[in-house]
Structure 1
Amino acid sequence: MFGAHYKLERHSIGFALAIIVVASIGGLVEIAPLFTIDETVEEAPDMRVYTPLEQAGRDIYIREGCYACHSQMIRTLRDEVERYGPYSLAVESQYDHPMQWGSKRTGPDLARVGGKYSDEWHVAHLNNPRDVVPVSVMPAYSWLSRNTLDMSDFDLRLNALSKIGVPYSEEMIANAQADAYGQAMPNSDRAAGVVERYGEATNVRSFDGNPDRVTEMDALVAYLQVLGRLTDAAYRNDSEEALEE
């Protein structure tokens, strides 16, 4: 076998053609499933987009490198489902750019962390993880409570996402700054517009407990509290499978 390989290496054209054939096989295996993507991605008519505040929290999550220790993809393995909840569906990440799937888990998977803990717990955890999880190795992110959230470019962010398929309406884009402020300021005159544009299930409250200003902590907690809750497709799928069994 090695003799044949050595002979092939001495003929550059033949060797190049062999590489192309092998690479083509690998490419075909990766590309072919994309032609059936409409059949494999589940439907979720109740799926909603991230609000401007939640999207900003997602950007902060990526900026701070949270994805380096936390995945957002629950596998179909029994121990994962029992620990984290229904396994992740492709449709749940259709508005994620980039998606946060992965396998690195220094910390737990966060695909369904939304609503699992209170806002106060998340704030305490981010300010000093050891206050709520004594054995945690997670670094503290206390500056998020001190940083006022920059909302000046939210309309540009939403507009850019709309260009790649996220269904933000012109009204959502035009009111991006107002909606980000209103979601974290429930007593303001802008709060009603958030619910009108994003639905009754939208969380509207002071996430960091500080009603005087909107901080980066507000945005990150708002994002964490909606993970796994943009649609209930996974829970419907889980119930259907249970009935079939």
Structure 2
Amino acid sequence: MNMPKLHKKLERSAIGFVVAIIVVASIGGFVEIAPLFTINETVEDVPDMRVYTPLELAGRNIYIREGCYACHSQMIRTLRDEVERYGPYSLAVESSYDHPMLWGSKRTGPDLARLGDKYTDAWHVAHLINPRDVVPQSVMPRYGWLMKNSLRIDDLSNHLAAQRAVGVPYTDAMIANAEADAYGQAHPNSSRAEGVAERYGENTNIRVFDGDEERLTEMDALVAYLQILGKLTDAAHVEAAERLEENHGN
């Protein structure tokens, strides 16, 4: 029986059509769900992975709020041209603390998976205030209000607690000091800065991100987040170096 006749027969049989829909949907569901049973084997285990600081997490929330993910992916694929342009392809472990995930392939603008430390804080601030000032051909909208908006930090403990509820290993001390750590990370001369380095590591970026020492702004948070992209772990670079060494050995 050819396909048109089979389809016509199914359309005339309500029960048969429902059964066919269930079968097709079940196949699709299995293909999507089955890989989750091996997720522990898929996500790499690395010793140097760290969590986002409260300020970086606040910046990530702003990044999502402003819809930045709609034009910028955070997933470098294994294609040669992508690796040559952006760096080592993305590993699952690099997004293991991301809720929600920001992987994708939609790129009106470049991929940001390895943006951290690529540009200075001043460059990011100028770019966000008016993208055309640093990239004349840019079609990105302006986000100048981030420099004017004070960052809300009194609820950051709740944000960290919510992240811990879905598996991010924030400690009680991190949650209790979230507000102080958000302030301290953007005010290196304050007494709160020491606590940030103690809880999140000596390599944590602690500086005035938006250039204004007097205030803590949404610009501080977003730039802090952008500057950590691709820097939570060195796993991808280590793996790329091992592959390169192996290829040279062969």
- What range describes the TM-score normalised by the shorter chain of this pair? over 0.9
Q: 1:81 aligns with which of 83, 86, 106?
A: 83
The superposition leaves residues 33-59 of structure 1 with CA deviations (integer Å, 9 ceiling, x where unpaired) of 111111121112110000000000000
Counterpart amino acid of residue 124 in structure 2: H
Which range is displaced more, 114-123 or 39-48?
39-48
The answer to whether structure 1 residue 27 and structure 2 residue 49 are counterparts is no
Aligned to 2:214: 212
The superposition leaves residues 57-115 of structure 1 with CA deviations (integer Å, 9 ceiling, x where unpaired) of 00000111111110000000000000000000111001111111111111100000000
Aligned to 1:200: 202
Counterpart amino acid of residue 125 in structure 1: H
Displacement of 1:13: 1.2
Aligned pairs for 1:150-161 within 5 A: 150-161=152-163
The answer to whether structure 1 residue 181 and structure 2 residue 183 are counterparts is yes
Displacement of 1:243: 2.0
Displacement of 1:244: 2.1
Give the distance between the partners of 2:78 and 2:141, measured in 1 at CA.
Answer: 30
Structure 2 SS opposite 1:14: helix
Give the distance between the partners of 2:139 and 2:6, measured in 1 at CA.
Answer: 52
Counterpart amino acid of residue 36 in structure 2: L
Aligned to 2:169: 167
5+ residue gaps, structure 2, are none
The answer to whether structure 1 residue 236 and structure 2 residue 238 are counterparts is yes
Aligned residues: 245
Structure 2 SS opposite 1:194: helix
Aligned to 1:71: 73
Give the distance between the partners of 1:26 and 1:244, measured in 2 at CA.
Answer: 38
Compute the TM-score of the two structures, normalised by the length of structure 1.
0.98
Displacement of 1:136: 0.7
Give the distance between the partners of 1:169 and 1:109, measured in 2 at CA.
Answer: 31
Give the distance between the partners of 1:23 and 1:127, measured in 2 at CA.
Answer: 47
Counterpart amino acid of residue 24 in structure 1: S
Aligned to 2:148: 146
Give the distance between the partners of 1:193 and 1:76, measured in 2 at CA.
Answer: 39
Q: 1:40 aligns with which of 39, 42, 45?
A: 42
Displacement of 1:171: 0.5
Structure 2 SS opposite 1:105: coil
Give the distance between the partners of 2:50 and 2:78, measured in 1 at CA.
Answer: 24
Counterpart amino acid of residue 173 in structure 2: E
The superposition leaves residues 194-237 of structure 1 with CA deviations (integer Å, 9 ceiling, x where unpaired) of 00000011000000111111110000000000000000000111
Aligned to 2:5: 3
Counterpart amino acid of residue 139 in structure 1: P
Aligned to 1:12: 14
Give the distance between the partners of 1:212 and 1:4, measured in 2 at CA.
Answer: 73
Give the distance between the partners of 1:8 and 1:54, measured in 2 at CA.
Answer: 54
Compute the TM-score of the two structures, normalised by the length of structure 2.
0.96
Counterpart amino acid of residue 163 in structure 2: L
Give the distance between the partners of 2:5 and 2:231, measured in 1 at CA.
Answer: 58
5+ residue gaps, structure 1, are none
Counterpart amino acid of residue 190 in structure 1: R
Give the distance between the partners of 1:177 and 1:197, measured in 2 at CA.
Answer: 13
User: What value does the CA root-mean-square deviation take over the aligned residues?
Assistant: 0.8
Provide runs of 4+ in structure 1 moved above 3 Å.
none
Aligned to 2:106: 104
Aligned to 1:54: 56
Give the distance between the partners of 1:210 and 1:179, measured in 2 at CA.
Answer: 18
